[in-house]
């Protein structure tokens, strides 16, 4: 099949922990986190167009096309390479916006990887990561493509391997704006940094959780429900929350017990991004 016809996967990520260890002079926060991919996400199709325009066929509610992260990624790739081709981007959206699962960032990363190949612009992964970082702090991990302990604003990686696991992810019916969480006066920004080599599964917590739960009680309600199954945590700046299971059947049984006013899904953890092999 031609690459122009294929669906390019844009998986979700979860943050197994997320510590805020400081703040840069420009206001961005210094983080330590572990990103893990899920076998669940959006897909993107790229359709060539001859008029040289970059167009989204699937605009998101409330997002002007020029601020859409896939459109911005395609535009940034053209600016970095001098490419002039046009494209229509089709996103099959399954990941929630403002969900902390990296949906918009993953779409941007997949657009960069796909168009770099389709347009034969030949950028290496480090260059794609640099372009991605300018689009959002969570974009580089998706270009990097391997489960990693991340530092800086989330762009310096130490790869890790994790044992297979299943997750029940709950999707509260709220969109949490990331900047609102990071600018809160109540955010702790002084969690002591650890060495990447010292991280173990289960270690840490999510420093953004307290603030998100206060501003969005729905997040707290979902976390409280999940805690009956173990060490439930919020992903990123929310709103989604997850708990880990060794067995798929246990994760599915928990999903089946979900109250009627909550939504969620079960997904497997993945150490590799599906496009990391190409």
Active site residues: 13, 138
Of residues 179-198, which lie at the interface with ligand C5P (CB under 6 A)? 179, 182
Q: Which stretch binds ligand C5P (CB under 6 A): 23-31, 56-64, 198-206, 251-259?
A: 23-31
The answer to whether 103 contacts ligand C5P (rule: CB under 6 A) is no
The answer to whether 28 contacts ligand C5P (rule: CB under 6 A) is yes
CB of 216 to ligand C5P, least distance (A): 16
122 vs 179, beta carbon nearer ligand C5P: 179
Tell me, by CB under 6 A, how many residues bind ligand C5P.
Answer: 11
The answer to whether 138 contacts ligand C5P (rule: CB under 6 A) is yes
The answer to whether 98 contacts ligand C5P (rule: CB under 6 A) is no
What is the three-state SS of the chain?
CCCCCCCEEEEEEEEEEEEEEEECCCCCEEEEEEEEEEEEEEEEEEEEECCCCEEECCCCCCCCHHHCHHHHHHHHHHHHHCCCCEEEEEEECCCCCCCCCCHHHHHHHHHHHHHHHHCCCCCCHHHHHHHHHHHCCCHHHHHHCECEEEECCCCEEEECCCCCCEEEEECCCCCCCHHHHHCCCCCCCCCCCCCHHHCCCCCCCECCHHHHHHHCHHHHHHHHHHHHHCCCEECCCCCCEEEEECCHHHHHHHHHCCCCCCCEEEEEEECECCCCCC
State which of residues 12, 31, 223, 241 lies at the interface with ligand C5P (CB under 6 A). Answer: 31
CB of 278 to ligand C5P, least distance (A): 25
The answer to whether 118 contacts ligand C5P (rule: CB under 6 A) is no
Of residues 153-172, which lie at the interface with ligand C5P (CB under 6 A)? 153-154
9 vs 136, beta carbon nearer ligand C5P: 136
Residues that bind ligand C5P (CB under 6 A): 28-29, 31, 136-138, 153-154, 178-179, 182
């Amino acid at each position: 099949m031609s690459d122009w016809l294929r669906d390019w996967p844009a998986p979700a990520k979860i943050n197994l922990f997320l510590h805020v260890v400081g703040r840069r002079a420009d206001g961005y926060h210094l983080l330590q986190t572990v990103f893990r991919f899920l076998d669940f996400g959006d897909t993107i199709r790229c359709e060539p167009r001859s008029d040289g325009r970059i167009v989204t066929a699937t605009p998101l509610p409330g997002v002007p096309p020029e601020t859409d992260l896939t459109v911005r990624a395609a535009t940034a790739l053209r600016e970095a390479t001098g490419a002039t081709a046009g494209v229509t981007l089709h996103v099959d959206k399954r990941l929630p916006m403002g969900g902390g699962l990296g949906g918009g960032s993953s779409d941007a990363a997949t657009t960069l990887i796909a168009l770099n190949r389709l347009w034969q612009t030949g950028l290496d992964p480090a260059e794609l990561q640099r372009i991605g970082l300018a689009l959002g702090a969570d974009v580089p991990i998706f270009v990097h493509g391997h489960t990693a302990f991340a530092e800086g604003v989330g762009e310096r990686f130490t790869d890790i391997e994790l044992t297979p696991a299943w997750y029940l992810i709950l999707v509260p019916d709220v969109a949490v704006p990331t900047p609102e969480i990071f600018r809160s006066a109540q955010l702790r920004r002084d969690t002591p940094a650890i060495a990447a080599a010292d991280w173990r599964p289960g270690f840490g917590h999510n420093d953004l959780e307290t603030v998100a739960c206060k501003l969005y009680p729905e997040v707290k309600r979902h976390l409280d429900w999940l805690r009956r199954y173990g060490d439930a945590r919020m992903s990123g700046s929310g709103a989604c929350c997850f708990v880990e299971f060794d067995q798929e059947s246990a994760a599915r049984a928990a999903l089946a017990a979900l109250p009627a006013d909550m939504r969620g899904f079960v997904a497997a953890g993945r150490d590799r991004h599906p496009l990391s092999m190409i």
